[in-house]
Amino acid sequence: MTKLQKIQSKIKTLNEALAWRNELKSCGQKLVFTNGCFDLLHLGHVTYLAQAAELGEHLIVALNTDASVKRQEKGDNRPINPEHARLFVLASLEFVSAVILFDATTPISEIETLSPDVLVKGADYDPNESDPTSKKHIVGRDLVLKAGGKVQTIPLVDGFSTTNILKKAK
């Protein structure tokens, strides 16, 4: 398998990811789940993803489709990179085991389907927040905890965000 084929093999449909997840469960391996836009990959993203990967044997990233990024009202020019490019860049990271797309407002369906052992978000969220209307609430928290998993946050790297990079570029 070439290096490009290896990267492409990490990009999965939800059904492919579920089959892979079932293999991991049968081997007793922990799956870590996170999600986001990951538009312009930067130091903050890479640090966050590397730290998330340390929490289990495999990290899966659920990536917002272009349409779902637009619905988040991040700006008319977002995403900068189309979903196929963002998928490929994330899949090229050694510590990312798989990448899937999600088109809904939240990845609740993907979390429910994959039942990760660890659900991770940045420290701008609160793993103890149980009010789903709060901006600090982590979607899927209750499902993961009910299944015996963990919900965890990772500190953000100060000064690094796609929004800040775009402001600086102007």
Q: Is the pLDDT of residue 128 over 90?
A: yes
Mean pLDDT of 14-33: 97
The alpha carbon dihedral of 137, 128, 95, 41 has a sign of positive
- Reply yes or no on domain 3-169 having CATH 3.40.50.620: yes
Q: How far is it, in rounded angstroms, from Cα 133 to Cα 131?
A: 5
Kindly report, residue by residue over 132-161, the tens digit of the pLDDT. Answer: 999 999 999 999 999 999 999 999 988 777
Q: Judging by DSSP bridges, how do beta strands 58-64 and 31-36 pair with one another?
A: parallel
Q: Is the pLDDT of residue 163 over 90?
A: no
Domain extent listing, the chain: 3-169
Torsion angle defined by CA atoms of residues 45, 63, 74 and 161, in that order, rounded to the nearest 10 degrees: 0
Kindly report, residue by residue over 85-115, the tens digit of the pLDDT. Answer: 999 999 999 999 999 999 999 999 999 999 9
Q: Is the pLDDT of residue 14 over 80?
A: yes
pLDDT score, position 160: 73
Kindly list the distances between the CA atom of residue 158 and the CA atoms of 146, 153, 161, in Å, as whole numbers in the listed order: 33, 15, 8
pTM score:
0.94
DSSP at 11: B
